[in-house]
Protein backbone atom coordinates (compact mmCIF):
# COMPACT_ATOMS: atom_id res chain seq x y z
CA UNK A 1 0.00 0.00 0.00
CA UNK A 2 1.34 3.44 -0.92
CA UNK A 3 2.33 5.53 2.08
CA UNK A 4 1.23 9.07 2.79
CA UNK A 5 3.89 11.55 3.89
CA UNK A 6 3.42 15.01 5.38
CA UNK A 7 6.34 17.45 5.34
CA UNK A 8 5.89 20.36 7.74
CA UNK A 9 8.34 22.88 6.35
CA UNK A 10 9.53 26.14 7.90
CA UNK A 11 11.84 28.40 5.95
CA UNK A 12 11.31 31.81 4.41
CA UNK A 13 13.40 31.30 1.25
CA UNK A 14 12.87 28.99 -1.72
CA UNK A 15 16.63 29.24 -2.35
CA UNK A 16 17.60 27.94 1.09
CA UNK A 17 19.31 24.65 1.92
CA UNK A 18 16.19 23.69 3.86
CA UNK A 19 14.13 24.17 0.70
CA UNK A 20 16.58 21.95 -1.18
CA UNK A 21 16.32 19.26 1.50
CA UNK A 22 12.52 19.47 1.38
CA UNK A 23 12.52 19.23 -2.41
CA UNK A 24 14.77 16.15 -2.36
CA UNK A 25 12.39 14.47 0.10
CA UNK A 26 9.37 15.25 -2.08
CA UNK A 27 11.15 13.96 -5.18
CA UNK A 28 12.49 10.72 -3.73
CA UNK A 29 9.41 9.75 -1.73
CA UNK A 30 7.10 10.53 -4.66
CA UNK A 31 9.27 8.37 -6.92
CA UNK A 32 8.89 5.54 -4.41
CA UNK A 33 5.10 5.77 -4.79
CA UNK A 34 4.31 7.83 -1.71
CA UNK A 35 1.72 10.58 -1.68
CA UNK A 36 3.57 13.63 -0.35
CA UNK A 37 1.85 16.71 1.04
CA UNK A 38 3.76 19.81 2.18
CA UNK A 39 2.65 22.33 4.77
CA UNK A 40 4.80 25.35 3.88
CA UNK A 41 4.21 27.32 7.06
CA UNK A 42 5.62 30.66 5.96
CA UNK A 43 3.88 30.53 2.58
CA UNK A 44 0.65 29.65 4.39
CA UNK A 45 1.21 32.54 6.83
CA UNK A 46 0.48 30.02 9.56
CA UNK A 47 -0.49 31.68 12.83
CA UNK A 48 2.07 30.88 15.54
CA UNK A 49 0.20 32.13 18.62
CA UNK A 50 -2.33 29.94 20.40
CA UNK A 51 -5.28 32.21 21.15
CA UNK A 52 -9.03 32.18 21.73
CA UNK A 53 -9.40 32.86 18.00
CA UNK A 54 -8.49 29.22 17.38
CA UNK A 55 -12.07 28.43 18.42
CA UNK A 56 -15.09 29.40 16.35
CA UNK A 57 -18.11 30.52 18.31
CA UNK A 58 -18.37 30.96 22.06
CA UNK A 59 -15.99 29.43 24.59
CA UNK A 60 -17.07 27.77 27.81
CA UNK A 61 -15.25 30.09 30.24
CA UNK A 62 -14.38 33.56 28.95
CA UNK A 63 -13.10 34.87 32.28
CA UNK A 64 -10.69 31.99 32.96
CA UNK A 65 -9.76 30.90 29.45
CA UNK A 66 -7.79 27.64 29.44
CA UNK A 67 -6.47 26.86 25.99
CA UNK A 68 -6.05 23.08 26.31
CA UNK A 69 -9.50 22.45 27.78
CA UNK A 70 -11.29 24.87 25.44
CA UNK A 71 -9.65 23.49 22.30
CA UNK A 72 -10.49 19.95 23.42
CA UNK A 73 -14.16 20.92 23.60
CA UNK A 74 -13.89 22.71 20.27
CA UNK A 75 -12.25 19.67 18.68
CA UNK A 76 -15.04 17.43 19.98
CA UNK A 77 -17.70 19.83 18.69
CA UNK A 78 -16.02 20.61 15.36
CA UNK A 79 -15.38 24.24 16.33
CA UNK A 80 -11.63 24.54 15.84
CA UNK A 81 -10.46 27.12 13.31
CA UNK A 82 -10.16 26.00 9.69
CA UNK A 83 -6.34 26.11 9.58
CA UNK A 84 -6.02 23.83 12.62
CA UNK A 85 -8.65 21.43 11.30
CA UNK A 86 -6.83 21.20 7.97
CA UNK A 87 -3.49 20.41 9.60
CA UNK A 88 -5.12 17.80 11.82
CA UNK A 89 -6.56 16.18 8.71
CA UNK A 90 -3.06 15.95 7.24
CA UNK A 91 -1.71 14.39 10.45
CA UNK A 92 -4.52 11.83 10.55
CA UNK A 93 -3.85 10.78 6.97
CA UNK A 94 -0.05 10.64 7.21
CA UNK A 95 1.98 7.49 7.81
CA UNK A 96 5.15 9.55 8.15
CA UNK A 97 5.68 13.19 9.11
CA UNK A 98 8.95 15.02 8.44
CA UNK A 99 9.61 18.36 10.12
CA UNK A 100 12.07 20.33 7.97
CA UNK A 101 13.50 23.50 9.53
CA UNK A 102 16.57 25.53 10.47
CA UNK A 103 17.43 25.24 14.14
CA UNK A 104 16.81 28.60 15.86
CA UNK A 105 18.17 29.11 19.37
CA UNK A 106 18.56 25.33 19.89
CA UNK A 107 14.97 24.55 18.92
CA UNK A 108 12.42 24.92 16.13
CA UNK A 109 11.44 28.32 14.64
CA UNK A 110 8.52 30.07 16.34
CA UNK A 111 6.18 29.32 13.44
CA UNK A 112 6.81 25.59 13.80
CA UNK A 113 6.47 25.72 17.57
CA UNK A 114 3.13 27.38 16.90
CA UNK A 115 2.21 24.43 14.69
CA UNK A 116 2.92 22.07 17.60
CA UNK A 117 1.02 24.27 20.06
CA UNK A 118 -2.07 24.73 17.90
CA UNK A 119 -2.36 21.48 15.91
CA UNK A 120 -1.49 18.91 18.59
CA UNK A 121 -4.49 19.73 20.76
CA UNK A 122 -5.71 17.90 23.84
CA UNK A 123 -8.02 15.09 22.78
CA UNK A 124 -6.74 15.00 19.22
CA UNK A 125 -3.05 14.36 19.94
CA UNK A 126 -2.92 13.27 23.57
CA UNK A 127 -4.91 12.68 26.74
CA UNK A 128 -4.25 11.51 30.29
CA UNK A 129 -4.55 7.87 29.23
CA UNK A 130 -3.24 8.22 25.67
CA UNK A 131 0.40 9.34 25.74
CA UNK A 132 3.95 8.09 25.23
CA UNK A 133 4.02 4.40 24.21
CA UNK A 134 0.22 4.32 24.49
CA UNK A 135 -0.14 7.57 22.55
CA UNK A 136 -2.65 8.56 19.90
CA UNK A 137 -0.19 8.29 17.01
CA UNK A 138 1.70 5.10 17.87
CA UNK A 139 1.01 3.75 14.37
CA UNK A 140 2.76 6.71 12.71
CA UNK A 141 6.41 7.56 12.16
CA UNK A 142 7.91 11.01 12.51
CA UNK A 143 11.31 12.66 12.26
CA UNK A 144 13.17 15.94 12.54
CA UNK A 145 15.28 17.11 9.58
CA UNK A 146 17.11 20.34 10.24
CA UNK A 147 20.10 22.56 9.62
CA UNK A 148 22.36 24.06 12.27
CA UNK A 149 24.31 27.29 12.30
CA UNK A 150 27.42 25.73 13.82
CA UNK A 151 29.60 22.69 13.30
CA UNK A 152 28.91 19.27 14.81
CA UNK A 153 31.91 19.54 17.16
CA UNK A 154 30.15 22.33 19.05
CA UNK A 155 27.16 20.07 19.82
CA UNK A 156 29.10 17.37 21.68
CA UNK A 157 29.49 16.58 25.36
CA UNK A 158 32.70 18.65 25.32
CA UNK A 159 31.43 21.32 22.94
CA UNK A 160 30.25 24.79 23.89
CA UNK A 161 26.65 24.12 22.76
CA UNK A 162 26.44 20.88 24.73
CA UNK A 163 25.36 17.36 23.78
CA UNK A 164 22.95 17.38 20.82
CA UNK A 165 21.13 14.46 22.47
CA UNK A 166 20.21 16.75 25.36
CA UNK A 167 19.08 19.46 22.94
CA UNK A 168 16.80 17.04 21.07
CA UNK A 169 15.26 15.36 24.11
CA UNK A 170 12.48 17.95 24.74
CA UNK A 171 11.44 17.88 21.08
CA UNK A 172 11.65 14.17 20.43
CA UNK A 173 10.50 12.87 23.81
CA UNK A 174 8.47 15.79 25.13
CA UNK A 175 6.44 16.41 21.97
CA UNK A 176 6.73 13.62 19.41
CA UNK A 177 7.03 10.51 21.57
CA UNK A 178 4.58 12.04 24.06
CA UNK A 179 1.97 11.94 21.29
CA UNK A 180 2.86 8.31 20.62
CA UNK A 181 4.82 8.74 17.40
CA UNK A 182 7.55 6.29 16.46
CA UNK A 183 10.46 8.74 16.27
CA UNK A 184 13.05 8.08 13.58
CA UNK A 185 16.62 9.28 14.01
CA UNK A 186 16.96 12.93 13.00
CA UNK A 187 18.59 14.06 9.78
CA UNK A 188 21.03 16.75 10.84
CA UNK A 189 22.67 18.98 8.27
CA UNK A 190 25.59 20.48 10.13
CA UNK A 191 26.32 24.13 9.32
CA UNK A 192 25.59 24.14 5.57
CA UNK A 193 26.24 27.89 5.43
CA UNK A 194 29.81 27.35 6.64
CA UNK A 195 30.92 24.67 4.18
CA UNK A 196 31.62 24.46 0.44
CA UNK A 197 29.02 23.93 -2.27
CA UNK A 198 30.52 20.48 -2.93
CA UNK A 199 30.04 19.53 0.71
CA UNK A 200 26.45 20.78 0.62
CA UNK A 201 25.80 18.64 -2.46
CA UNK A 202 27.26 15.65 -0.63
CA UNK A 203 24.90 16.32 2.29
CA UNK A 204 21.89 16.28 -0.02
CA UNK A 205 23.09 13.09 -1.72
CA UNK A 206 23.41 11.40 1.67
CA UNK A 207 19.84 12.52 2.46
CA UNK A 208 18.69 11.20 -0.92
CA UNK A 209 20.26 7.84 -0.13
CA UNK A 210 18.69 7.67 3.32
CA UNK A 211 15.25 8.49 1.95
CA UNK A 212 15.33 5.36 -0.19
CA UNK A 213 14.92 3.20 2.91
CA UNK A 214 13.45 5.71 5.34
CA UNK A 215 10.06 4.04 5.70
CA UNK A 216 11.71 0.79 6.78
CA UNK A 217 13.95 2.30 9.45
CA UNK A 218 13.61 1.30 13.09
CA UNK A 219 12.62 4.11 15.47
CA UNK A 220 14.64 5.47 18.36
CA UNK A 221 14.11 3.75 21.70
CA UNK A 222 12.20 5.40 24.54
CA UNK A 223 11.21 4.06 27.95
CA UNK A 224 7.69 2.54 27.68
CA UNK A 225 4.85 3.96 29.76
CA UNK A 226 4.42 0.70 31.67
CA UNK A 227 7.85 1.20 33.27
CA UNK A 228 6.33 3.99 35.39
CA UNK A 229 3.79 3.84 38.18
CA UNK A 230 0.33 5.20 37.49
CA UNK A 231 0.19 7.61 40.42
CA UNK A 232 3.24 9.83 40.14
CA UNK A 233 4.70 8.56 36.84
CA UNK A 234 7.90 7.55 38.63
CA UNK A 235 10.02 4.63 37.48
CA UNK A 236 8.87 1.44 39.13
CA UNK A 237 11.30 0.06 41.74
CA UNK A 238 11.93 -3.10 39.73
CA UNK A 239 12.91 -1.03 36.70
CA UNK A 240 15.36 1.04 38.75
CA UNK A 241 16.83 -2.09 40.28
CA UNK A 242 17.22 -3.77 36.91
CA UNK A 243 19.10 -0.77 35.57
CA UNK A 244 21.22 -0.10 38.67
CA UNK A 245 24.17 -2.14 37.40
CA UNK A 246 24.30 -0.46 33.99
CA UNK A 247 27.11 1.94 33.12
CA UNK A 248 24.83 4.66 31.74
CA UNK A 249 21.42 6.06 32.53
CA UNK A 250 18.12 4.86 31.13
CA UNK A 251 17.53 7.88 28.90
CA UNK A 252 18.76 11.44 28.39
CA UNK A 253 16.04 12.88 30.61
CA UNK A 254 15.65 9.80 32.86
CA UNK A 255 19.26 9.09 33.70
CA UNK A 256 19.02 8.01 37.36
CA UNK A 257 22.00 10.20 38.28
CA UNK A 258 24.22 8.15 35.96
CA UNK A 259 26.16 9.17 32.82
CA UNK A 260 23.87 9.95 29.92
CA UNK A 261 23.41 7.22 27.31
CA UNK A 262 25.44 8.27 24.25
CA UNK A 263 23.71 9.02 20.94
CA UNK A 264 20.31 7.74 22.06
CA UNK A 265 18.54 10.69 20.41
CA UNK A 266 20.41 10.54 17.11
CA UNK A 267 20.84 6.83 16.37
CA UNK A 268 18.44 3.89 16.58
CA UNK A 269 19.47 0.75 18.42
CA UNK A 270 21.88 2.33 20.90
CB atoms within 10 A of CB 159: 14
SS (H, E, C) 12-32: CCCCCHHHHHHHHHHHHHHHC
Query: pLDDT, tens digit, for every residue of 199-236?
Result: 999 999 999 999 999 999 999 999 999 999 998 999 99
The CATH number of the domain where 40 resides is what? 3.40.50.360
pTM (predicted TM-score): 0.97
Query: pLDDT, tens digit, for every residue of 48-79?
Result: 999 999 999 999 998 999 999 999 999 999 99
In a domain, 120, yes or no: yes
In a domain, 141, yes or no: yes
- Domain holding 26, by residue range, is 4-218
In a domain, 229, yes or no: no
In a domain, 227, yes or no: no
**DSSP code at position 17:** H
In a domain, 172, yes or no: yes
Tally of structural domains, the chain: 1
In a domain, 262, yes or no: no
In a domain, 241, yes or no: no
**Phi, psi at residue 163, to the nearest 5°?**
-60, 125
In a domain, 250, yes or no: no
**Phi, psi at residue 96, to the nearest 5°?**
-140, 135
Amino acid sequence: MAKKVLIVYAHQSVASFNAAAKNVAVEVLSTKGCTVEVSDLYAMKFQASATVEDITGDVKDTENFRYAEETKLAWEEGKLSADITEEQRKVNEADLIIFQFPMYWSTVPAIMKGWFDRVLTLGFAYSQDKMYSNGMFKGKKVMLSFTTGCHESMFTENGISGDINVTLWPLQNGILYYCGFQVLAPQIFWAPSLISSEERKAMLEAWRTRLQGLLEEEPLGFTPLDCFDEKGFQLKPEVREKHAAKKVGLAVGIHLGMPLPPNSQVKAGV
